[in-house]
A and B are shown apart, each in its own frame.
Chain A
Amino acid sequence: MKKRTLNIGVTGLNAIDSPGPGVSVIRALREASSFDVRIIGLSYESLEPGIYMHDIVDRTYSIPYPGAGVDTLLARLEYIHDKEKLDVIIPNFDAELYPFIKLEQKLKSMGIHMFLPTLHQFEERHKVNLNDFGKKYGINVPKSKVIYDLNTVHSLPSEFSFPMIVKGKFYDASIAYSIEQVKSYFNKISAKWGLPIIIQEFIHGTEFNVTGLGDGNGNTMAAVPMRKQYITDKGKAWGGISISDEKMLEMTRKFLKNTKWRGGFELELMKNKDGELYLLEINPRLPAWIYLAVGVGQNIPEALVNLAMGEKVKPFASYDVGKMFIRYAWDMIVDREEFEQISIYGEL
């Protein structure tokens, strides 16, 4: 029987040392057994590698940065939809989720489906609110404090011991061993991502991640934990291995049950030497290493698309343990005309 073909818009086509999830999400969608795909890349910059990967992305359109506002994004999506008849969009950046959540109902009325957390879920899990989130849902989180003013930095040693983590509201985190370093990271990170800055207790231990999918009713549709094996200087996993830690899966199920999370997610966890787990961050979208989940038997992007389309989806029951992903960089040779096409006309 011929499978239906879905036109799916995907963002996050960058693949720098802190790669976007787009290319991995697309690889997963191309391996879906329940549908075929035509992939419409949605890019922010002309040098995002996914734009030029023609066996991955069928056609790409540039879209405006979130700062341009919801109306500007909607106008661009209407133009793209008119040409491509989009069935689904999968946004893959934290910073773009707010406008996409705001547009979810409008896009649905146009026939474009998404499967995103609610605005409440998106705001509540924000790292600025992590302390309250931990208390409310009974999940172990490191102590953290939100600061807006460089002058308040001097009082931090009375509440936190060194080292402490200095985090941006969307991205970036640095370990500070002195007040001078806290100040330096405060200035550096706030210049890039704005205020506030989050100061977080440093947990000594080993980093783990869990990716998965919640159905919005408290059920765990998918969950795969991974230990980072090779970590870049930006803290990104460049290699990892699937593991079977029941405590992590239990924390994941608790997170999904209590928040009724809707959509893909990534939990960033730290396990200390006593085996205690701390939830460091909740990323409200699929991670760049999502293809490992596919490799171990859980095609989470496929399940997410089916949920977005209103299909019944059975939760994944198992996955292979001890499978690794090892990321690599690959130089593509690109004609200048292609670069011009996306840069000048915003389409390729």
Chain B
Amino acid sequence: MKLQKNVAISEAGLLFNPVTGESFSVNPIGIEILNLIRDEKSQDQISLAILDKYSTDKATFEKDYTDFIGILEHHNLLERNEKTNA
């Protein structure tokens, strides 16, 4: 899974899609996950990184992660890549 290549992420948490002109605000954990996706980490790697840093359980993370990815897909912010698709 890859973030669309031109999508800009600001430090303050604003996501800008230059193709559609849409902007989205994302919370700090969302930004962390987006940066991990941008670094082409798999879902397992992202899960490990988040569980290592925050006190949450795997089931809760996976549910929230799936919802988050669904929102990114809905807004066409992701491009699918079979090799890296987790």
Interface residues of A (CB under 8 A from B): 206, 208, 226-227, 229, 240-246, 271, 275, 321-322
Contacts and interface: CB of A to CB of B under 8 A. Distances in A.
Nearest to B8: A322
Contacts, number: 27
Contacts of B19: 243-246
Interface string B38-64: 000000000000000000000000000
Contact of B18 (A208, A229, A275, A321): A321
Contact of B21 (A226, A246, A275): A226
A17 B46 CA distance: 49
Contacts of B81: none
B27 interface: no
Nearest to B23: A241
* Top 5 A-B pairs, shortest CB-CB distance: A227-B21, A243-B21, A321-B18, A241-B21, A244-B18
Contact of B20 (A240, A243, A246): A243
A246 B6 CA distance: 12
A322 B16 contact: yes
Interface string B11-25: 000001011111100
A205 to B, nearest CB: 11
Interface residues of B, number: 10
23 contacts: A206-B20, A208-B21, A227-B20, A229-B21, A240-B21, A241-B21, A241-B23, A242-B21, A243-B18, A243-B19, A243-B20, A243-B21, A244-B6, A244-B18, A244-B19, A245-B20, A246-B19, A271-B20, A275-B76, A321-B18, A322-B8, A322-B16, A322-B18
A193 B19 CA distance: 36
Given A243-B18, A322-B18, 4 more contacts: A244-B19, A275-B76, A321-B18, A322-B16
B4 to A, nearest CB: 12
Contacts of A208: 21
Nearest to A226: B21
Nearest to A227: B21
Contacts of B23: 241
Contacts of A322: 8, 16, 18
Contacts of A244: 6, 18-19
Contacts of A271: 20
A229 B16 CA distance: 13
Contacts of B20: 206, 227, 243, 245, 271
A228 B42 CA distance: 36
A321 B8 CA distance: 11
A112 B76 CA distance: 50
Contacts of A229: 21
Contacts of B8: 322
Interface string B56-84: 00000000000000000000100000000
A283 B18 CA distance: 24
Nearest to B16: A322
A274 to B, nearest CB: 11
Contacts of A321: 18
A9 B40 CA distance: 56
Nearest to A208: B21
A227 B17 CA distance: 11
Nearest to B22: A227
Among B16, B19, B20, B21: residue with most chain A CB under 10 A:
B21
Contacts of B16: 322
A246 B20 CA distance: 11
Contacts of A240: 21
Contacts of A241: 21, 23
Contacts of B18: 243-244, 321-322
A231 to B, nearest CB: 13
Among B8, B18, B23, B76: residue with most chain A CB under 10 A:
B18
A227 B21 CA distance: 6
Among A226, A241, A271: residue with most chain B CB under 10 A:
A241
Contacts of A243: 18-21
Nearest to A229: B21
